[in-house]
């Protein structure tokens, strides 16, 4: 994937150099010129997510024959690596034509730095305020301006499990509470299997957000991101103690979320807490997933203690200021916003559409259940996936959790999280 990224950058830089040599890139008459290349920057490189991206790409290429799609995906779930590389590109004033970002607080840094164009013109042209949920529009509006096009809605607080492993351990089903979860983890460990699979550090932050929500409840969890936040409270101490206990049953960290999920699918591990993109990975046929059968090879439930609350996030695309091919980027954003694009993308990705008018017949099994949950649940925003914490705050939380993995001291973790909130500038 590093070679793939370097190739994408090389193609983009070649296009920029060619454009500089021309009198004006905006007057290109044919699709042969370098400015017809559209560099789409994302972290969708794994099974399921890459298939969804390719489905949208096919629509884009069909509708825009004069534009050449350049896939600049950077490997790594949650986008930590992609965002680090993106920051260096934006600092050097060499933006891609469009880049993926999580809707919500994650984009605030780019907006404050003046790196993004507002997209109100596109929302007006496509009448997107009529087809996106009102609460989603509210989350992505900053002082009356909108800077991203949401492609989907994901649910972060999902528990995935292997039914056969649970039966072998004497566990009757998915635990509904955190105390029941801890008891089940203990049973699985006694049966000789990995109780809980995890990946790199970001997946542990992902675990933390579900434990905080399950222990505190949605109202107290949501207050953590408000002016009324108290990260030093006894309730947060109890939640972090729950996190310490649960993490003590985790197996050795693996390379990314897919191998951690695969441990569950293969019967090596009992549980994994991961977003619902895992459904696409479990369910899609080989070549795009693991080809597993839901409710037989794998099962799902809300993360313990979180039933009735939808911890949401949304993948979106932006229009950077100075995009080398602005017209091509806008054409891509129109595909990402469209009913056809979202219905092509989301069933493969394992997510539900941001639009309210999607073809519900395409969303079966887990996704049908998820659509109903989105419509009828309380909402809470994800930490790791950009809804409630800006990038600086999220990085500070990641650092605190990384130190906690090395030295599991609840008091130090709580102090670090309280300091991160105080210094967030949000």
What is the token pair recorded at 202? 């970001």
- The four Cα atoms 60, 62, 65, 70 give a dihedral, to 10 degrees, of 40
Please, what CATH class does the domain formed by 155-311+379-422 belong to? alpha beta
Phi-psi group of 305: left, alpha or beta (phi > 0 → left; psi -120 to 50 → alpha; rest → beta): left
Query: Residues 122, 126, 128, 129: is their CA dihedral positive or negative?
Result: positive
Rg (CA), the chain: 21
pLDDT of res. 81:
87
Q: Is the pLDDT of residue 370 over 90?
A: yes
Confidence of residue 32 (pLDDT cuts 50, 70, 90): very low
Between 361 and 287, where is the model more confident? Answer: 361
Token pair 């092509």 is at which residue?
344
Tell me which architecture the domain covering 2-152+315-372 has in CATH.
Answer: 3-Layer(aba) Sandwich (3.40)
Q: How many Å apart are CA 25 and CA 323, to the nearest integer?
A: 12
Q: What is the mean pLDDT of the chain?
A: 90
What is the token pair recorded at 159? 């528990």
Tell me: the pLDDT tens digits for 200-218? 999 999 999 999 999 999 9
Q: Is the pLDDT of residue 229 over 80?
A: yes
Confidence of residue 18 (pLDDT cuts 50, 70, 90): very low
Check residue 276 and report its DSSP letter. T
Query: Residues 109, 77, 89, 341: is their CA dihedral positive or negative?
Result: negative
The strand ranges marked E within 158-242 are 158-161, 194-196
* Residue 39 φ then ψ, to 5°: -85, 110
The predicted model scores a pTM of 0.85
Confidence of residue 161 (pLDDT cuts 50, 70, 90): very high
pLDDT of res. 76:
79
- Strand-by-strand arrangement of the 352-353 sheet: 352-353, 152-155, 309-313, 378-381
Phi-psi group of 50: left, alpha or beta (phi > 0 → left; psi -120 to 50 → alpha; rest → beta): alpha
Pairing type for strands 158-161 and 299-302 reads antiparallel
What is the token pair recorded at 326? 């602005």
Between 235 and 136, where is the model more confident? Answer: 235
Contact 196, 270 (CB under 8 A): yes
Chain-centre distance for alpha carbon 199: 15
Between 4 and 201, where is the model more confident? Answer: 201
Contact 367, 352 (CB under 8 A): yes
List CB contacts of 309: < 8 A, sequence separation 6 or more: 157, 213, 218, 302, 377, 378, 379, 380
Confidence of residue 78 (pLDDT cuts 50, 70, 90): confident
List CB contacts of 401: < 8 A, sequence separation 6 or more: 201, 204, 205, 208, 413
Mean pLDDT on 20-45? 60
- Percent of the chain's residues with pLDDT above 90: 81
pLDDT of res. 16:
33
Q: Is the pLDDT of residue 13 over 80?
A: no
Closest CA to 109 of 83, 133, 132, 135: 83
Token pair 């979320």 is at which residue?
257
- Strand-by-strand arrangement of the 37-41 sheet: 68-71, 37-41, 98-102, 315-317, 149-150
pLDDT of res. 9:
33
| Every domain range in the chain assigned CATH 3.40.190.10 | 2-152+315-372, 155-311+379-422
H or E segment at 74?
none
Contact 253, 198 (CB under 8 A): yes
């Amino acid at each position: 994937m590093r070679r793939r990224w370097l190739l994408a950058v090389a193609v983009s830089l070649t296009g920029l150099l060619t454009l500089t040599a021309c009198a004006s890139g905006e007057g290109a008459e044919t699709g042969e010129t370098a400015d017809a290349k559209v560099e789409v920057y994302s972290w969708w490189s794994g099974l399921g997510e890459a298939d969804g991206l390719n489905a949208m790409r096919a629509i884009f290429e069909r509708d825009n024959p004069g534009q050449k799609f350049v896939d600049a995906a950077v490997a790594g779930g949650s986008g930590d690596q992609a965002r680090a590389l993106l920051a260096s590109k934006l600092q050097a004033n060499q933006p891609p034509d469009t880049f993926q970002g999580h809707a919500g607080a994650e984009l605030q840094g780019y907006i404050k730095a003046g790196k993004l164009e507002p997209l109100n013109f596109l929302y007006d042209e496509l009448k997107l305020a009529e087809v996106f949920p009102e609460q989603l529009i509210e989350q992505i509006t900053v002082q009356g301006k909108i800077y991203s096009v949401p492609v989907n809605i994901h649910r972060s607080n999902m528990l995935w499990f292997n039914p056969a492993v649970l039966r072998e351990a004497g566990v009757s089903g998915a635990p509904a509470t955190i105390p029941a979860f801890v008891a089940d983890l203990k049973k699985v460990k006694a049966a000789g299997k990995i109780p809980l699979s995890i990946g790199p550090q970001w997946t542990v932050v992902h675990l933390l957000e579900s434990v905080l929500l399950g222990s505190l409840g949605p109202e107290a969890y949501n207050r953590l991101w408000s002016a009324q936040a108290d990260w030093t409270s006894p309730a947060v101490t109890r939640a972090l103690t729950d996190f310490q206990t649960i993490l003590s049953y985790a197996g050795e960290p693996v390379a990314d979320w897919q191998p951690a999920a695969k441990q569950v699918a293969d019967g090596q591990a009992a549980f994994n807490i991961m977003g619902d993109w895992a459904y696409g990975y479990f369910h899609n046929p080989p070549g795009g997933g693991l080809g597993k059968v839901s409710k037989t090879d794998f099962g799902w439930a809300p993360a313990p203690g979180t039933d009735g609350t939808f911890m949401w996030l949304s993948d979106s695309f932006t229009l950077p200021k100075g995009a080398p091919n602005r017209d091509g980027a806008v054409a891509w954003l129109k595909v990402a916003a469209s009913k056809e694009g979202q219905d092509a993308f989301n069933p493969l990705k394992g997510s539900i559409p941001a639009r309210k008018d999607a073809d519900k017949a395409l969303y079966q099994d887990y996704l049908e259940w998820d659509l109903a949950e989105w419509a009828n649940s309380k909402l809470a925003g994800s930490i790791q996936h950009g809804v409630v914490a800006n990038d600086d705050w999220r990085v500070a939380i990641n650092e605190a959790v990384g130190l906690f993995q090395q030295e599991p001291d609840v008091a130090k973790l709580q102090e670090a999280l309280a300091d991160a909130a105080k210094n967030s500038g949000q």
